[in-house]
Structure 1
Amino acid sequence: MGDIMTASSQLLSGSLFRPSHRDILNGWRLGAIVDASSFNILDFGGASDSKTDNAKGKNSVLIPKGTYLSGSVLLEGKCNGPITFQLQGLIKAPVDMNSYSWFSFSHIDQLTVTGSGGFDGQGQKAWANNNCDKDPNCKLPISVRFDFITNSVVQGISSINSKAFHMNVLGCNNLKFISVRISAPENSRNTDGIHIGESTGISVAHSIIGTGDDCISIGPGNNDINIFDVQCGPGHGISIGSLGKYTNEEPVKGVVIQHCTLTGTDNGVRIKTWPDSPKQGIATNLTFDDIIMKNVQNPIIIDQQYCPFGSCNQKKSSLIQISKVKFNNIQGTSASPIAISIICSKTFPCQDVELSKINLKYNGGDTSSTTTNVKPRVSGQIFPSLSSA
């Protein structure tokens, strides 16, 4: 933290950061806080010139308007009170980065990240050189990480052109994303908008996300996830999974994706599991409700033979048991003839799958569907009608 405690005593009475005198990732670390206040980085050596590495500056809660270059930053608790990180400016990552993450918030209770500013990952060079499908040791930084954050809100900020995932959520509880804006071109590989893992009580609402991968991806170990009023596109849609790749995966229970619009995406609402799962798993109580599809390649899809890049044994059958799935009031247009594709595991067929009020049309002609290893319940109008493979 440097000498922020000494400097702040000349500017403010009370409320200040305690110094840690320890650099982490060449950046900032949050120590204990007395009361609550904010510090302007321009008052502590920051520079808005797109050249100075502001990660080497003093701690700050307020990032004012301007453009700032910053290396890797870790803001870490525990903290004795709520934390507000107000971002009004644009923070840019170095073009060349060799790290697992760029900006990280870790082990903080009652964190608020807010403002009209954003994070620019400057990922164009990284996309061109992305070989992660062939190199398991590849290292591309996630733009913004939220690790073990509780009772917190992220509101209003934006993320553009991340090198890998835009935002990653891990081990969090009661974390809300409201009115966030995430953008990268459709050819930017592995730039998931928000990836959620091993967390409980996460919500994403009133947000606009367009990327080169999943707009929102929900991995293993998640409970009580709510996605509401999200505009997705371009990208690969809103996905649960992939699941079943690793042996230590926990179940996914209780996901509601509601009142969303997907435009020009490769997939719409999707559940995906690996066919050669090393261990049995569970995905249950999954609801997709009130969804509008606009020229979406695969509007409704369960794929238990998910195998990107041919990197698995497709002769095996997925060990992930999918159950209690509802697709309700899904309307719009498909960019392919097959609007509904539900391909379930031979070993663990999908259980208790329900479809109601589905109307998906293909502008190029007739629309069809395919179902395998599942006997779904149908109510209301279903177009296209369901057929078994």
Structure 2
Amino acid sequence: MWSTTVAAISDASSYNILDFGGASDGKTDNAKAIKSAWVKACSSQGKNSVLIPKGTYLSGPVLLEGKCNGPITFQLQGLIKAPIDVNSYSWFSFSHVDQLTLTGGGAFDGQGQKAWANNNCDKDPNCKLPIYYLAMLVEEILITALMFLTFVDLHQSVRFDFVTNSVVQGISSINSKAFHMNVLGCKDLKFISVRISAPENSRNTDGIHIGESTGISVAHSIIGTGDDCVSIGPGNNDINIFDVQCGPGHGISIGSLGKYTNEEPVRGVVVQHCTLIGTDNGVRIKTWPDSAKQGIATNLTFDDIIMKNVQNPIIIDQQYCPFGSCNEKKSSLIQISKVKFNNIRGTSASSVAISIICSKTFPCSDVELSEINLKYNGGDTSSTTANVKPRVSGQIFPSLPPA
């Protein structure tokens, strides 16, 4: 099912950033050299590549735009470091590129330690949140402009905006200031064998965040952060997460959904053959109460998942309100349906291994659990449900409360 190698690009011209004034001294700002090499490769006919050879490079923000005249490879063999300055926002941005291959075994180092201390989005409801929430409200060109001109508080390492038919393979991202990799408006984009890491106390360092995209895959990857390993926002279709090791972090999440008006539905998410180790949550769906507008999340499958000392292994939370800024007495308006939890086993770090709390206004429908075996080392394991009548088959441990 999954290809684990990137096909060799034959008859390609390679543009080495060292030939455009780049330097691997760890001090020179290579942003201009990288941009120049990209423009040359992108404007040339046929298959071309940008090469960042082995070494350590400093670079300020870089916007790498299409449309290119053919397939293009960004061959990162070295280590690129972001400025320590927390005023450096979106760092590397690939925009409107078709047939991009990002590979080479190198790494992006966001140097985010200083930024984490200033990032308070987990506590402050007025902090600036990811711009993808505006995607439903304005034209594509305006979205792109806003992403680069007004994105203030979330210092993303690598952005993929309107990238199509592309592959990211064998690349690492470490210590991002906030999101490591952000996907917006993309189609048929694969992440294969990526490694993402940041300490568990690094705020809002989501591994891969996906918004308003179709046909996105994350496979054979290791992700450990201070937030969600993979987060799937509104407007996504046909998302596949396969063979991902997650931890530390907040788990693999769909949502949060329902905070903003005109959010598009989430349809068709499969999380399969994954392992979560020591995370705050396992597989999670989260929606806001007091939703801005009615929405949909449907055809969601979690299959063949191993939990190792996970705080909340299986969770649907339609009362998600982390800032205390919403009216928790009002129900979520997000309709969750056609959800399957199958073959999920391992250990829970809390006594409540299964928590499915749905909306009073729109109860979850067509929720199925089968072959669940989650044990709590501290004693008995329990489960809790509300506003849902799940179907069960096979072994279910802990058992669900009576409907």
2:222 counterpart SS class: strand
Pair 1:132–1:243, CA change in 2 (3 A): same
CA offsets per residue over residues 192-243 of structure 1, 9 Å max, x none?
Answer: 0000000000000000000000000000000000000000000000000000
CA offsets per residue over residues 1-43 of structure 1, 9 Å max, x none?
Answer: xxxxxxxxxxxxxxxxxxxxxxxxxxx9x99999842111112
Distance 1:230 1:32 in 2: 25
**Do 1:32 and 1:79's aligned partners in 2 also have CA atoms closer than 8 Å?**
no
Distance 1:340 1:44 in 2: 56
1:100 maps to which residue?
Answer: 89
Distance 1:31 1:223 in 2: 26
Shift in Å at residue 276 of structure 1? Answer: 1.1
Shift in Å at residue 309 of structure 1? Answer: 2.0
Distance 2:8 2:400 in 1: 58
Distance 2:251 2:230 in 1: 7
CA offsets per residue over residues 222-276 of structure 1, 9 Å max, x none?
Answer: 0000000000000000000000000020000000000000000000000000001
1:180 maps to which residue?
Answer: 194
Distance 2:196 2:178 in 1: 13
CA offsets per residue over residues 108-163 of structure 1, 9 Å max, x none?
Answer: 0000000110100000001112123455675699x000000000000000000000
Distance 1:247 1:313 in 2: 16
**Do 2:254 and 2:285's aligned partners in 1 also have CA atoms closer than 8 Å?**
yes
**Do 1:82 and 1:111's aligned partners in 2 also have CA atoms closer than 8 Å?**
yes
Q: TM-score, normalised by structure 2?
A: 0.85
Distance 1:283 1:304 in 2: 12
**Do 2:47 and 2:72's aligned partners in 1 also have CA atoms closer than 8 Å?**
no
- Which of 12, 31, 43 is matched with 1:55 structurally? 31
Pair 1:289–1:251, CA change in 2 (3 A): same
Please list every run of 5 or more consecutive structure 1 residues that lacks an aligned counterpart in the other structure: 1-27
Distance 1:136 1:148 in 2: 28
1:43 counterpart SS class: helix
- Which protein has greater RCO, CA pairs closer than 8 Å, 6+ apart? 2
Distance 1:329 1:309 in 2: 33
CA RMSD across the alignment: 3.5
Shift in Å at residue 172 of structure 1? Answer: 0.3
Distance 2:126 2:71 in 1: 37
2:342 matched to 1:328? yes
**Do 1:31 and 1:76's aligned partners in 2 also have CA atoms closer than 8 Å?**
no
**Do 1:36 and 1:82's aligned partners in 2 also have CA atoms closer than 8 Å?**
no
Trace 1:122-271 onto structure 2 (pairs within 5 A): 122-133=111-122, 138=127, 143-271=157-285
In our comparison, the structure showing a higher alpha carbon Rg is 1
Distance 2:192 2:63 in 1: 22
Pair 1:118–1:31, CA change in 2 (3 A): closer
1:51 counterpart SS class: strand
Deviates more, 1:189-198 or 1:307-316: 307-316
**Do 1:126 and 1:140's aligned partners in 2 also have CA atoms closer than 8 Å?**
no
1:128 counterpart SS class: helix
Distance 1:72 1:58 in 2: 25
**Do 2:101 and 2:168's aligned partners in 1 also have CA atoms closer than 8 Å?**
yes
1:227 counterpart SS class: strand
2:106 matched to 1:117? yes
Pair 1:104–1:388, CA change in 2 (3 A): farther
Distance 2:127 2:258 in 1: 21
Shift in Å at residue 385 of structure 1? Answer: 0.1
Distance 1:386 1:323 in 2: 18
Shift in Å at residue 58 of structure 1? Answer: 19
Deviates more, 1:127-136 or 1:340-349: 127-136
2:68 maps to which residue?
Answer: 79
Pair 1:380–1:136, CA change in 2 (3 A): closer
Pair 1:95–1:31, CA change in 2 (3 A): farther
Distance 1:59 1:311 in 2: 50
2:323 counterpart SS class: helix
Pair 1:76–1:338, CA change in 2 (3 A): same
2:17 matched to 1:41? yes
Pair 1:34–1:137, CA change in 2 (3 A): farther
Q: How many aligned positions are there?
A: 360
CA offsets per residue over residues 314-341 of structure 1, 9 Å max, x none?
Answer: 0110000000000000000000000000
**Do 2:267 and 2:298's aligned partners in 1 also have CA atoms closer than 8 Å?**
yes
1:201 counterpart SS class: strand
Shift in Å at residue 85 of structure 1? Answer: 0.2
Shift in Å at residue 78 of structure 1? Answer: 0.7
**Do 2:339 and 2:367's aligned partners in 1 also have CA atoms closer than 8 Å?**
yes
Percent of aligned positions that are identical: 92
Pair 1:92–1:60, CA change in 2 (3 A): farther
Pair 1:31–1:107, CA change in 2 (3 A): farther
Please list every run of 5 or more consecutive structure 2 residues that lacks an aligned counterpart in the other structure: 33-45, 131-156
Shift in Å at residue 44 of structure 1? Answer: 1.8
Q: TM-score, normalised by structure 1?
A: 0.88
